[in-house]
Amino acid sequence: MPAKMARGDYVISTDSSRLDVALIHETLSRSYWSPGIPKGVIERAISNSLCFGIYQGPDQVGFARVVTDNSTFAYLSDVFVLEEHRGNGLATWLVETIQSHEDLQGLRRFLLATRDAHPLYERLGFTMLANPDRMMEIVKSNAYGSAP
């Protein structure tokens, strides 16, 4: 059953039927981390993730998704709040809501990647990698045909 949290005029919901995929695609395709991402990739990512939407009335104003096995690992991705709704603490509330979600308790590792939001995530308990020498990656910076 989808989770739902309210604060003032805003609601956070995990009901995937409420997600505005066109808005999510438009926003993510212009982001620094997924420029030019195809809509089909977004749709597939949403269907294979635990997704959180922020809504003001019927309008979606924010989003985040978590890739997880619901047991040991989670990766927080694609977090955004539309510019006209920033400054209201929505991103903090969104991440706090994600961290308290029942399926994400007792995890051994919760990761994310960010270029510019370190202070936000540090306030919420995220730290730099304790052992970066243990982590490896494959980066395809031009995966969607647009250089970062």
pLDDT one-digit tens code per residue, 77-131: 999 999 999 999 999 999 999 999 999 999 999 999 999 999 999 999 999 999 9
The pLDDT value recorded for residue 1 is 63
What pTM was estimated for this model as a whole? Answer: 0.92
Domains defined along the chain, listed by start? 4-134 (3.40.630.30)
Asked whether 81 and 61 are in contact (CB, 8 A), the reply is yes
Neighbours of 74 (CB within 10 A): 24
Asked whether 94 and 12 are in contact (CB, 8 A), the reply is yes
Residue with tokens 């991402």: 37
Task: Give the rounded distance of the alpha carbon of 80 from its chain centre.
Answer: 7
Q: Quickly state the pLDDT bin for 146 (edges 50, 70, 90).
A: low
Write the DSSP string, 5-47. Answer: EEETTEEEE--GGG--HHHHHHHHHTSSSSTT--HHHHHHHHH
Q: What is the dihedral of CA 69, 74, 77, 79, to 10 degrees?
A: 110
Rounded Cα distance between 71 and 57, Å, is 33
